[in-house]
Every structure is written in structure tokens, then in C-alpha cells.
Amino acid sequence: MFDFLHLQFNQRALLAALLIGFSNGALGSLIVLRKNALVVSALSHALLPGIALGILVFGGLSPFVGFTGALFSALLVGLSTVYVAKVALLDHQTSLSVLYTTAFAAGLLLLERIPLFINLDEWLFGNILGLRSSDLRISFAVSFAILLLIAWWRRGWILYLFDPAVAAAMGVPVRRMHYLLTLLMVVGLVTSLQAVGSVLSAALFITPAATLLQFCHSPRTLIWGSGLLGGTAATAAILLSNLFDLRPGALMILVLGSVFLLALLLKPLHTPQSRRNSSV
């Protein structure tokens, strides 16, 4: 039944799913607490123009070209958003909406200029089974860096997320934390490209934290619980995809979405109001 676990590409996929699911889930808790869910979704769409530009510059599409182009594009849009919001006196999401839609439109025009046929299916929707050993090492390094930065500055993150003014008064470098969170979002998105693709990558960040927020409100529990849920769901999706011959990336998001819906159904059983009603 589980003979596919002896295949190396399945072993790499399982390990990558655990790493990416855990680190992105943990990082996603910071994004949800900061109310930046739409930001990570917009940044995921900013990956396309970078991929298109990389194809034009290098004359083809390879993992190096895709990752480099997506990283350049998302960093440019993400970090420029912080600067534009300050200079133009706009809120962060308004600035991001202008920049990411402009970048996405530029990416569509660039794709029309590509003289050869390029299949972008794996980059749009993911193909975690095609990961190489070098890709797995990159996933490990990025996941380790994300988790280390979250754990190292956990107190600073919590202060920054809930009250930036108080955090600044206590010596927390709020502006640098803002740039760092944007940088971590971009790197996490690029790393998850081959797992779930640019179209679905935002859900890997947001859904675990949105699910656990139905039951817990402790930042520490939310951070590591979201990581555990993300890693478990992603790993389970790899196993189910092999058993039922389904696309792994889409199944990861479907599993997480199903757990979220289940949490909504169970939530009334855990609220004080429901306990009071049941005791009457």
C-alpha cells in the first residue's frame, strides 16, 4: 500500500512538504495577526512577471531561472510597497494593489513576447514530486532561517504585531521588522513555488493560522500550532495524492481548507456562550 515511499522523489516530496508546510504555517500566523493576508496573496501574483522576465533574459525556463526571477520580482514589489506607502502617504494595501497589478500586467505582456512555447503549469500550480535534491536543500535552508528568525525575536514580533507604537517605545526596530516580515513572506512564497505554485501559495500561509484562531488566542500557541498544522496537512496531502492519483499541490490546500471548515463547525462547541446554553 505504501510502496511508493521507497521512491526517492516521493521521499523528497514528503520532506519538502513537511518543511515548507511547517515554516510557512508558522510565518502565516504573523501575517494573520498583522492582518496582512491580502498582502501575501498579492505578492504571490507578483511572482509571474519575474518568471517571465527570467525566461526572456536567459532564453528558457529552468528551476534557477524561475526561482531567481520570482524572487527578484516579489522583492521589488514587496519592498517598494513599503517605500511607496511612506512617500505617497497611502496605506500599505493601497500601495501594494497599485504595484502588484502593474507588475502582473507587465508579466502578461512579457509572456506575449516570448518567442517559444513555455509550459508554466508547474510554476502556476506546483509540482512537488519534481523536486531535486538541490531544491530540497534550499527548502531546508529557507525553512530553518524563517523559523530561527521567528523564534529568536519572538517577543519583538508579538509587540510589533499588536502595538507598533509601544514596540517602538520599547526599542523594537519597527520599520526594520516591517521590511523583514515582507522579506520573509517573499522568500517563503518563492520556496513554495514548486510545492503549490504561485496561484495557491498564499493559502499555505493563511489557512493554518485562520483555522487555529478559532480555538486559541495565545501568540506562542498560534505560531507553533500553525506550523504543526501546516506541516501535517501538507505531508498528509502527499500521501493521499499517491494513493488516489491527485495533484499534490491542490490537495494540500484542499486538506487545509477542509480542516478550516471543520474548525468552523466545531467552534460553537468551544465557546462560553454554547456551554452556558447547554447547561440550561
The residue written with cell numbers 505560531 in the block is 223
CB atoms within 10 A of CB 6: 8
146-158 pLDDT per residue, tens: 999 998 888 888 8
* Domain residue ranges of the chain, discontinuous segments joined by +: 3-264
- Is 173 exposed, middle or buried, given 0-12, 13-18 or 19+ CB atoms closer than 10 A? middle
Q: Rounded CA gap, 217 and 209, in Å?
A: 10
CATH superfamily of 3-264: ABC transporter involved in vitamin B12 uptake, BtuC (1.10.3470.10)
- What are the Cα distances from residue 262, in Å, to 108, 154, 267? 38, 29, 9
Secondary structure class of 91 (helix, strand, coil): coil
Identify the segments of the chain with pLDDT beneath 70. Answer: 1-5, 116, 268-280
Q: Which three cell numbers stand for residue 241?
A: 495524492
Quick one: pLDDT at residue 116? 67
Q: Rounded CA gap, 9 and 5, in Å?
A: 9
Quick one: pLDDT at residue 274? 46
pTM score > 0.75 for this model?
yes
121-139 pLDDT per residue, tens: 777 777 888 888 887 888 8
Quick one: pLDDT at residue 1? 52
